[in-house]
Amino acid sequence: MQEEVTEFGIDDARRVLGEVFAPWVLDLNLSIEGFDAAPPQEAGADWQPGAVLRMPFSERLCRHGGVVCGQALMAFADTSMVIANLAANRSYRPMTTVDQTTHFMRAVSAADVLADARVVRLGRTMSFGRVTLLSATDNKPVAMVSSAFAML
């Protein structure tokens, strides 16, 4: 009897999000809104696997003046790239951040933040990606992040 093969999907990614991250990351209350492991039929040659996540607004994430702090945004971007790597690998694979460069473009306050995380290149031992952080209120960019991960 053959074992049924199932595709790694958004429910699997949500399970990983809830099980493998540190408790303080879980305190960010992140949610996965989109998970793109396979290109849609209409996808062009520039399609990249990835995920869209949401970080809900919380006063606990704000610095003085009610602005979401950069540390929370950077942790959000890093976590989002792990989920994007799940999509690219079509499974969970242990990994660690090697590099992350963040360019903050404008402040965000009193709004959820969205992360559109894409894997630009997935190799056997390394993954390279980009994240665009957007204010959920007006869908305008808040930050651009590039990162590299070592696949363990």
Average pLDDT value for residue range 74-89: 98
CATH number at residue 72: 3.10.129.10
Across the range 108-124, mean pLDDT stands at 97
Q: What percent of the chain has pLDDT over 70?
A: 96
Per the domain annotation, does 39 fall within a domain? no
Give buried/exposed letters for 127-144 (b at 16+ CB in 10 A, else e): bbbbbbbbbbeeeeebbe
Domain housing 142: 10-34+49-151
Query: What residues contact 2, with CB distance under 8 A and at least 6 apart?
Result: none
Q: Assess if residue 91 is contained within a domain.
A: yes
Provide the mean pLDDT of the chain: 95
Residue 2 lies in a domain: no
> pLDDT tens, 12-37?
999 999 999 999 999 999 999 999 99
CA-CA distance, 126 to 23, in Å (whole number)?
26
Check whether 3 has a pLDDT greater than 70: no
How many structural domains is the chain composed of? 1
Read off φ and ψ for residue 26, nearest 5 degrees.
Answer: -60, -30
